Amino acid sequence: MPPNPCASCKTNRALILRPKDHSKLCKGCFIDVFEAEIHHTITANKLFYRGEKIAIGASGGKDSTVLASVLKTLNERYDYGVELILLSIDEGIKGYRDDSLETVKRNAQQYNMPLTILGYDELYGWTMDQVVEQVGKKGNCTYCGVFRRQALDRGAARLGVKHVVTGHNADDVAETVLMNLLRADLPRLSRTTSIVTSTPSASLDPNSHTNIKRSKPLKYAYEKEIVLYAHHKNLDYFSTECIYSPEAFRGSARALIKNLERIRPSAILDVVRSGEDMAKLVPGSDEGCGGACGNAVPAGEEEEGGCGSANGRTAGGDMANMEQHLAQNEAAAENGLEVEITSRHINDTHDSSVPLPAGKKGKKNKGPSSTQRKTTKQVMGQCKRCGYLSSQDICKACVLLEGLNKNRPKNKIEVGYEDGQETEKELNSVTNGLNKLHVEGG
């Protein structure tokens, strides 16, 4: 027997120490148990149904690559009867996304899955490189996050797919739980801990991009195990960092999580579970019971993600910030800054059932001065410009685009900024990108 035998097969040498329970496993047993646990997550939460077409938000990074590999394996092994496709978003960041998209293209061949790549330029008329050129590095993650979330939904709708799975892992969720705790944002904590979120239907058209379900099959999988799985299965993934500003706040939460993991590995799943338990206690939120009631699926519109380090694992991290921002001050939205969440917010959580006399509550209507998160969520409608689900007349992406487009003429004399034709179009209509969206959305 080897010095460190596998706890499961007792035969092979243990290579993996599992963070969740300290069990020592050999390579084969680890791969088996990792896959079995994802299968359990999928079946216990009834994530898929037979015949469903599912788009995997694929970035070429470790999480989405492992997700694609595991889902393919499980679909064949357990005969889920689902159709899997890859959907990648090209933010238009030279030297960052180019290489990872090459990885996704290889993955498409390796896993024999059709791949669709959708670019920000195609959807919005702006690449992230151009956005950064205009707004600077500070706050650009907001644009990226807002655009990306819609982009995945739009891509899915275009492909006739109503379910997008992302590679968010336990570490990501734990980070998000911590971040929301640190921002005193329990309503969002409640939404983001949910394994399934959906964009509530704002359109009667069943093929609308406002009817897309999101889920995170890797929600209970440690990042460490995802990396080890990729390593031991020799998966082809790409590692890089977004060349634009990292999110300092998330970075700190991440460092904290990783430090805790070193001391007590189970801390990560414990934070996730604590998040779920707290979610059940959040009063007045849409999902009231925090998703425990089964049929209550939290709205996905404000789903928490990270910054643009992986389109498979991030959804629109700054989106909820934006939501508030726009509500408070449209002008501030253009700067896309982190929002200070104040006591106003706490009032919000009681808002739908307990009328509070305090002046801080703001108005009940959904005018631009409204600060009512809950109220706005309950009056979800469609953006008047692009038709995307929005609690405001104009959705976040359109507001951001309007700001960008208004300022674009300032740059028109810069040689090589845009080709002449495009610049002219922009000058003629500041809503150029939005018109495109409208056409595509229709």
Partner 1 sequence: MSKTNDDGTIPITVEFSGGLEMLFSNERKLSLAIPAKDETGNGSNIAYLVRHLCDKVMKDPRKELFVLDGTVRPGILVLINEADWELEGEDKYEIQEGDNILFVSTLHGG
Structural tokens at position 346: 């706490």
231 in contact with partner 1 (CB under 8 A): yes
**CB count in 10 Å sphere of residue 331:** 10
Structural tokens at position 153: 């939904």
110 in contact with partner 1 (CB under 8 A): no
CB closer to partner 1, 220 vs 237: 237
245 in contact with partner 1 (CB under 8 A): no
The minimum distance between CB 268 and partner 1, in angstroms, equals: 11
CB closer to partner 1, 57 vs 433: 57
106 in contact with partner 1 (CB under 8 A): no
**CB count in 10 Å sphere of residue 104:** 28
267 in contact with partner 1 (CB under 8 A): no
β-strands 163-165, 213-215 pairing: parallel
57 in contact with partner 1 (CB under 8 A): no
Residues 366 and 375: their CA atoms lie apart, in Å, by 7
285 in contact with partner 1 (CB under 8 A): no
221 in contact with partner 1 (CB under 8 A): no
Cα angle: 343, vertex 346, 352; to 5 degrees: 135
102 in contact with partner 1 (CB under 8 A): no
Residue of 7, 8, 12, 24 interacting with partner 1 (CB under 8 A): 24
240 in contact with partner 1 (CB under 8 A): yes
Residue of 15, 243, 289, 337 interacting with partner 1 (CB under 8 A): 15
Alpha-carbon Rg for the chain, nearest whole angstrom, is 22
DSSP state of 14: P
Region label for 81, one of left (φ > 0), alpha (ψ between -120 and 50) or beta (otherwise): left
The stretch among 79-87, 150-158, 226-234, 363-371 that binds partner 1 (CB under 8 A) is 226-234
199 in contact with partner 1 (CB under 8 A): no
Closest CA to 194 of 75, 76, 45: 45
The minimum distance between CB 24 and partner 1, in angstroms, equals: 6
435 residue type, one letter = N
Q: Provide the strand spans (E) within 162-218.
A: 163-165, 196-198, 213-215
CB closer to partner 1, 137 vs 363: 137
- As a dihedral over the C-alpha atoms of residue 177, residue 192, residue 289, residue 219, rounded to 10 degrees, the angle is -80
Give the residues lining the site for partner 1 (CB under 8 A): 4, 13-17, 24, 27, 59-65, 100, 103, 171, 223-224, 226-228, 231-232, 237-242, 254-255, 258-259, 261-262, 306, 308-314
